[in-house]
Amino acid sequence: MHSACVASGDACSIGGTCISGSCGSCGGSGQPCCTGGAGSQCTAGGVACTKGTCAACGASGEACCAGRICTAADTACAVGTGGAETCQACGGNGQSCCPGSAQRCSQAGSQCIAGVCGTCGGLGEACCETGTACAVASSVCASVGSGAARTCQACGGAGQPCCEHNACSAGGCCVSSATGGAPVCIAVGSVCGDGISGACQGGACGTCGAASEPCCANDRCTGAGLECQRTPLRADGGPGAVTTTCEPCGAKGQGCCAVSSGNSGCAAGLRCTRATSGNAVTTTCQ
């Protein structure tokens, strides 16, 4: 049932005469709630029926106004102590996300995670959805196992996820993870595994994976800033054999880097475009 406004001095549909928002002896601020029609209700603006009395609504700690509306900044209508809906603070870390077309959080470095505002970008925290995904140096947005949520992880060291664009420290190599998560770094001298023969040395796994070398098994490049480029042997790009080579990626005019660790595939300010010719797909940062 929808409510309708009546002019001051006119009769209210629930009885009494409208004067300054009150219908006689009910409905105004501080008066009993009116009964009849749509049930217990208040007829003045900015008040709600609370325990039989029309009381101020919409501010923090007050009852929600009609339609579950809160008028104070950074508040939202939620069930409080005793089961009554009240306007409660929202948007701060540990608080519910404020309502709107995009659920929001008011503190810098936090975002809405499953309906609650929490910090993002630090080690072990959720990856930020806007701006820089991870705020700590030498960290990357990655999962640590198959199906695991992506969080900000220290990267580049042996046993850690590869940093952006497959980068590993101290000449390590970026290889597939045994747990099914993001690719991980292995130390110099370690066996590359994952169907790749040879040991890691300066980003290369034996005779593959480094710049200008053939791609390793499963079209993987193990050196930093490289992507496996597939070139058809047929000039028209038709079906047939292809050669694979690890080439620099990420800069303008270069191929797009792998995005398995959560990076964009291209340097800041560039986007990855795709072009298809026959059975060959070419990616370029522009």
Tens of pLDDT along 36-71?
Answer: 665 688 889 899 998 899 999 999 999 999 889 999
Average pLDDT over residues 216-240: 76
12-24: buried (b, 16+ CB within 10 Å) or exposed (e) per residue?
bbbebebeebbbb
Q: Quick one: 52 and 143 in the same domain?
A: no
Between CA 148 and CA 142 the distance in angstroms is: 9
Q: Quick one: 160 and 271 in the same domain?
A: yes
Q: Quick one: 41 and 153 in the same domain?
A: no
Q: Tell me, yes or no, if the pTM score tops 0.85.
A: no
Q: What is the DSSP letter of 219?
A: G
Q: Quick one: 158 and 23 in the same domain?
A: no
Residue 16 within any structural domain of the chain? yes
Instruction: Note down the domain range covering 256.
Output: 139-285
Nearest to 223 by CA among 277, 265, 274, 175: 175
Domain boundary pick from 56, 86, 103: 56
| Local confidence band at 238 (pLDDT 50, 70, 90 cut-offs) | low
Residue 233 within any structural domain of the chain? yes
Q: Quick one: 169 and 279 in the same domain?
A: yes
Q: Quick one: 270 and 157 in the same domain?
A: yes
Selected residue with higher pLDDT from 235 and 9: 9
In this prediction, residue 37 carries a pLDDT of 60
Task: Count structural domains, the chain.
Answer: 2
Residue 129 within any structural domain of the chain? no
Residue 92 within any structural domain of the chain? no
What is the average pLDDT value for the chain, to the nearest integer?
Answer: 85
Q: Helix count (H) and strand count (E) of the chain?
A: 0, 19
Which three-class secondary structure state does DSSP give residue 134? coil
Q: Quick one: 146 and 28 in the same domain?
A: no
Residue 37 within any structural domain of the chain? yes
Q: Which of 4-13, 218-227, 233-242 has the lowest mean pLDDT?
A: 233-242
> Token digits for 135?
């705020």
Q: Which of 19-33, 90-104, 223-237 has the lowest mean pLDDT?
A: 223-237
Residue 278 within any structural domain of the chain? yes
Put residue 25 in one of left, alpha, beta given phi > 0 → left and psi -120 to 50 → alpha: alpha
Domain boundary pick from 56, 79, 95: 56
Residue 130 within any structural domain of the chain? no
In this prediction, residue 268 carries a pLDDT of 77
* Digit-coded pLDDT (tens) for 170-206: 999 999 887 777 889 999 999 998 778 789 999 999 8
Q: Quick one: 30 and 162 in the same domain?
A: no
In this prediction, residue 39 carries a pLDDT of 65
List, in sequence order, every beta strand (DSSP E) within the chain.
Answer: 18-19, 22-23, 47-50, 53-56, 75-79, 85-89, 110-113, 116-119, 139-142, 151-154, 173-175, 184-186, 191-193, 196-201, 204-205, 226-232, 242-248, 272-277, 280-285
Amino acid at 5: C
Residue 221 within any structural domain of the chain? yes
Domain boundary pick from 39, 56, 73: 56
